Structure 1
Amino acid sequence: MTWATKYIEQLRQGQTVSFRPTGNSMQGRIASRQLVTVAPISTPPRVGDVVLCKVEGKQWLHLVSAVGADGRFQISNNKGHVNGWTTRANIFGIVTHVDGVAEKRR
């Protein structure tokens, strides 16, 4: 089990989750330990959405940075580092609020 496993399971069950992720990879968008709210995602993610996902076995709360012609999604941090590509099945939720402030879909 890794850091997001319990949240992913709750999202799969249709629940909205809140937690305080640590790290600086999303600095400028989400600071370390800020409270984020993540809801199950019902529509395809768009470029600029922050999603809870899995890329090559690792769990990330990162940006959708591109959508491929094949329907896969490129996942990156907020500093330009690309984590890789994933499928819709590996995107479990979308950030709806950061510290109580609604995230605007881009």
Structure 2
Amino acid sequence: MGALDAVAARVAQGQAAEFRPRGNSMVPLVGSGDPVRVEPVRPETVEVGDIVLARVAGTTYLHLVSAVDHARKRVQISNNRGRVNGWTSHARVYGICVRVAGVPRPRIAGKQRAG
């Protein structure tokens, strides 16, 4: 079980979560240790460029949406360095990052799911 699995479980149950992810794959959007807030998401509303909490191929990531395929109800997840993690279903997109280091993320209005 990865460090983000417990956070993903809470968000999937409709709770917001605040945590400090580690790693440099999302720099400069999210620095290692930056406080982030993730809220439950309506996956059908996500767009390329959104930062989401999602499970891809058995691993949970806080990464970018790099492509969408709403007809097949799936999104592609990538880091901010060009590495594609893969496609995942809407059911495995748990939350959307609404704030990083106290700064609101753009274009999140209407994407959150009520708990």
Which range, TM-score by smaller chain? over 0.9
- What is aligned with 2:51? 50
Distance in 1 (CA, whole Å) between partners of 2:5 and 2:59 is 10
- What is aligned with 2:96? 94
- The alpha-carbon deviation at position 104 of structure 1 amounts to 0.4
CA contact (8 A) 1:48 1:105 kept: no
| Aligned residue-pair number | 106
CA contact (8 A) 2:43 2:93 kept: no
Distance in 1 (CA, whole Å) between partners of 2:91 and 2:4 is 16
Alignment of 1:6-85 (within 5 A): 6-44=6-44, 45-68=46-69, 69-85=71-87
TM-score scaled by structure 2?
A: 0.86
- The Cα offsets for residues 3-43 of structure 1, whole Å up to 9 and x where unpaired, read as 11211121122111000000000001000000000000025
Identity fraction in percent: 46
- Comparing 2-11 with 46-55, which one deviates more in the overlay? 2-11
Distance in 2 (CA, whole Å) between partners of 1:6 and 1:62 is 16
Structure 1: which 4+ aligned runs deviate by more than 4 Å? none
SS, match of residue 66 in structure 2: strand
Distance in 1 (CA, whole Å) between partners of 2:96 and 2:12 is 12
TM-score scaled by structure 1?
A: 0.93
SS, match of residue 85 in structure 1: strand
- What is the aligned-residue RMSD (CA, Å)? 1.3
- Read off the aligned partner of 1:85 and give its amino acid letter: W
Gaps of 5+ in 1: none
Higher fraction of helix: 2
SS, match of residue 72 in structure 2: coil
- The alpha-carbon deviation at position 100 of structure 1 amounts to 1.0
